[in-house]
Structure 1
Amino acid sequence: MTLPFFVYGTLLPGGAHHDRHLRGRTRHEEPAVFPGAVLYPGPGYPYAVEEPPAASGAGPGVRGGIVTPHPGAYAELLAGLDELEEYVPGDPNSPYVRVARAAVLGDGTRVRAWVYVAGPAVAARLRAHGRPITGGDWRAYARAVRPPR
């Protein structure tokens, strides 16, 4: 299945992995929100954790962007992002899993995209002991934690 990607952390423009993985491989990048998820900080990068449907309306979702790759770059980009996120299909111990979910563009359009969410063990640990990032915005959180010099 060929889908765009929803990115929300170090793959956003200006993030540590944007240029290496996305620059020159995308045809379009547009701000979006991943509803039904909560953002948690990790060791230098965030985790999106899906919430049960009953809880999904409680927060603002995760802020990020939809990235549409150039068709010729899709397979290489997918493999590179799977490797970056340490995603191994079928491995329940992967820190992230890639799932197809809807993200919402600024005009309200829903776009189905690949999203790397916290794997089951990481998600359970974060739900039990983590502190969500208020507003679901990794860039705002990172600026607050590490203000510019």
Structure 2
Amino acid sequence: MFDTMTLTKIGAGLFGAWLILLLGKWGAEELYHAEAHGEQSYVIEVAGAEEAEPEEEIDVMALMAEADISKGEGVFRKCSACHKVDGTDGVGPHLNGVVGRDVASVDGFGYSGALTSLEGDWTEEALFGFLLNPKGYAPGTTMGFAGLKKPADKVNVIAYLQSLN
């Protein structure tokens, strides 16, 4: 069934295909050098394009005055998969007493370097910014949550956490 010539043909076919793949890769690398273009390869300028307007500043304290603790408790269910409010740590640190507490200050919890490098307290404004985009606020954080997009949801959660102090 299989003789030496058949095995030689199969081997030559496999090595030939591998050689063609390597030559194609080499040719593509010679034609296009990604590292020469930096992070952004091409910039396409559009005639008449206006600059983006700066985002409107949000007055967190004014929103906090209208916050609803019961709605915040409902929104907190998204957080409760990782965070607890009974003083015990889960995947994330416990959040009772978080408003006004130093950043990365729960004893015994292993914070990521991104949070330990932050200084200050978890004020309402700091929590508002963190809850909007955790990875943008503290690049390198291990928190996998994408964030809360609605300002009302953020202030309601902050008010709920503040009520636990």
TM-score normalised over the length of structure 1:
0.23
Bigger relative contact order (CA 8 A; separation at least 6): 1
Could you say which structure has the higher strand fraction? Answer: 1
Query: Which of these two proteins has the greater Rg computed from alpha carbons?
Result: 2
Could you say which structure has the higher helix fraction? Answer: 2
TM-score normalised over the length of structure 2:
0.21
